[in-house]
Amino acid sequence: MGGIMKNENLMLILTGLMITLGLCALIYVANDIIPEGQKFNSEIWGNINDWMIYGLTLVTAVFLYKTLRSQMEVQKTQNELFKIESTRFKESIKPLLKYSASTDKMIPGEKHKKILTVEVTNETENIALKISRILSQDERSKQIFIPMSLDDRRDHLKKGDNPLLFHFLIDSKSPASEWTVFELNYEDISGNKYKQRVICICDRFGIEINPYLPEIV
């Protein structure tokens, strides 16, 4: 591409010089042919040197414009390539979390209350760091802690680890579907922050869990 641009610039300069020299030669010859009273007045139209300067100035201006435009196009291409590489790198280190859920009635005498357990695993080798949860403001469910092992207190997750367990106490007397909504926040190894909204729907047919696509924040 650089060789093509150099050839174009050289052709532009040569073309400009040829046009300038041609005009100067035409004026010079015309002054010898045209009668004295009809010749170009150098005080008004300038002499050959002036026309040479004008021509070179015009060629230089066009050359600078083309050079600047070419540099801007190269810079734009470089910026687009940088964005592509940056996106590709982020995708290569982004954790991919998978969710599953189950319910259990573990409270004797409280038939309207149940415990929803959400298991989170990482499907990639890319570790998820600084994991935290934000529960939506819903009076029918609240997050609770059931100490099963020290793993429950982890704030990171990679492929092959035991699942992270989140437990929610659901209290609803309505026969309709019960919704539990929470948001998981985490980071990748480069410090890019993600948030992922998760919706759990419990009804008489079972449990449906719907994670949104993770967003970079």
Looking at residue 61, its pLDDT comes to 79
Q: Is 140 left (phi over 0), alpha (psi -120 to 50) or beta?
A: alpha
Looking at residue 151, its pLDDT comes to 44
Distance CA 84, CA 71 (A): 20
Query: What tens digit of pLDDT does each residue of 131-177 get?
Result: 988 776 555 556 555 555 544 568 899 999 989 888 888 776 665 67
Distance CA 189, CA 95 (A): 9
Looking at residue 150, its pLDDT comes to 42
- The alpha-helical segments, DSSP class H, found in the chain are 2-33, 42-45, 48-93
On whether the CB atoms of residues 133 and 143 are closer than 8 A, the answer is yes
Looking at residue 58, its pLDDT comes to 75
Looking at residue 82, its pLDDT comes to 92
174 φ, ψ (degrees, to nearest 5): -85, 140
CB atoms within 10 A of CB 128: 25
Nearest in space to 185 (alpha carbons), one of 209, 160, 215: 215
| 56's tokens | 């070179």
Looking at residue 66, its pLDDT comes to 79
Distance CA 212, CA 192 (A): 18
Q: How far is CA 6 from the centre of its chain?
A: 34
Max CA pair span of the chain:
123
Looking at residue 52, its pLDDT comes to 67
Looking at residue 186, its pLDDT comes to 95
- Amino acid, res. 181: V
**What DSSP state is assigned to residue 38?**
G
- Per the DSSP assignment, residues forming a β-bridge with 121 are 98
The CATH homologous superfamily for domain 97-216 is Gamma-adaptin ear (GAE) domain (2.60.40.1230)
Distance CA 152, CA 45 (A): 90
Distance CA 96, CA 127 (A): 9
Distance CA 118, CA 120 (A): 7
193 SS3 class: strand
Residues whose CB is less than 8 angstroms from the CB of residue 196 and which lie 6 or more positions away in sequence, other chains included: 97, 183, 184, 185, 186, 211, 212, 213, 214, 215
Domain boundaries, the chain: 2-93, 97-216
Report, as ranges of residue numbers, the positions in the chain whose pLDDT lies below 50: 150-151
Looking at residue 137, its pLDDT comes to 56
